[in-house]
Amino acid sequence: KGASSLQIVNNVFHRTYRTAVWITKESVPYSISVRANLALETLRHPRESTAWVRHFASFLLEVPPLYLSGNVAAGSTDTGFVLRPVLEDCNAGGTSASALEEEELNEAVGCLTGFFLLRACKDLCNSCAVLHGAAAWKSSHAGVITADQSANIRMHAVMLSDNHIGVSLGFHRSAGDLLHRVIGRNITVFGSTDASTCSASIDCRALGQTDKVGETCNSVIGSAFRRVGILAHMVNGMP
């Protein structure tokens, strides 16, 4: 069974297998707070199959949270944060969210992927899936990524640095959809900084068709570019 009215606050998780915090899909949406937690080294289980891709994360939230702030995922061998995003009405001119202090940001550092946004609506919808207050740096694949996303996307107060790809967005929308939107506000994207000093920092690592672990560079960019800030979003049309 899932959880409700749960608070996970001020914890340290070290060298956990697959996840440090997992909020299952049976949990009550908008009822769980995850604040000021540190997850160090989230590892692939030694007996995890390599026959297919099964994503894992330091923080795996399969329902939208009530609060998610001030958490750090460092050194995940897959993803820092896998999130079912909060849905809000789209508003290109602003956001209802208040300004954040630095310690309120959710931060992913040294992960394969920083933030992965799950499909926000079961069917197509015109609401905005929101990513607010996120920092991702030194991701060997992407800082922020979504695939087969059914909603619009709004990103606010996002900082990305030293990632192979800063933002990569993929959508599953109706063919001929002219109302689909990606909205960004207060987003900072850096390429290579002084944080990328070791020789390994020049190499991408991403999951591929024959590489289910991400031991080599299998991204769509490959070795053609060391860094790409924003990968123009792709829409896979549906009838």
The pLDDT score that the predictor gives to residue 121 is 92
Residue 164: how many other CB atoms lie within 10 Å? 27
| Averaged pLDDT for residues 114-121 | 96
Instruction: Say if residue 234 is exposed, middle or buried (CB neighbours under 10 Å; 0-12, 13-18, 19+).
Output: exposed
pTM: 0.93
Q: For 171-184, how does the pLDDT look when each residue is reduced to its tens digit (9 = 90+)?
A: 988 777 777 889 99
Question: Do 6 and 67 meet the contact criterion of CB atoms below 8 Å apart?
Answer: no
DSSP state of 219: S
Which residue would you say has higher pLDDT here, 94 or 130? 130
* Residue 219, both tokens: 């991204």
Predicted pLDDT at 95: 55
pLDDT tens digits, 137-194: 999 999 999 999 999 999 999 999 999 999 999 998 877 777 788 999 999 999 988 8
Measured in whole angstroms, the distance separating CA 235 from the mean position of its chain's CA atoms is 18
> pLDDT value at position 44?
92
CA count, 13 A, side-chain hemisphere, 66:
12
At 4-56, the pLDDT tens digits run 999 999 999 999 999 999 999 999 999 999 999 999 999 999 888 888 888 89
222-233 pLDDT tens trace: 877 889 999 877
Nearest to 13 by CA among 79, 72, 62: 72
Q: 3-class DSSP state for residue 49? A: coil
Give pLDDT tens digits for 66-115.
Answer: 999 999 999 999 999 999 999 998 875 555 567 788 899 999 999 999 99
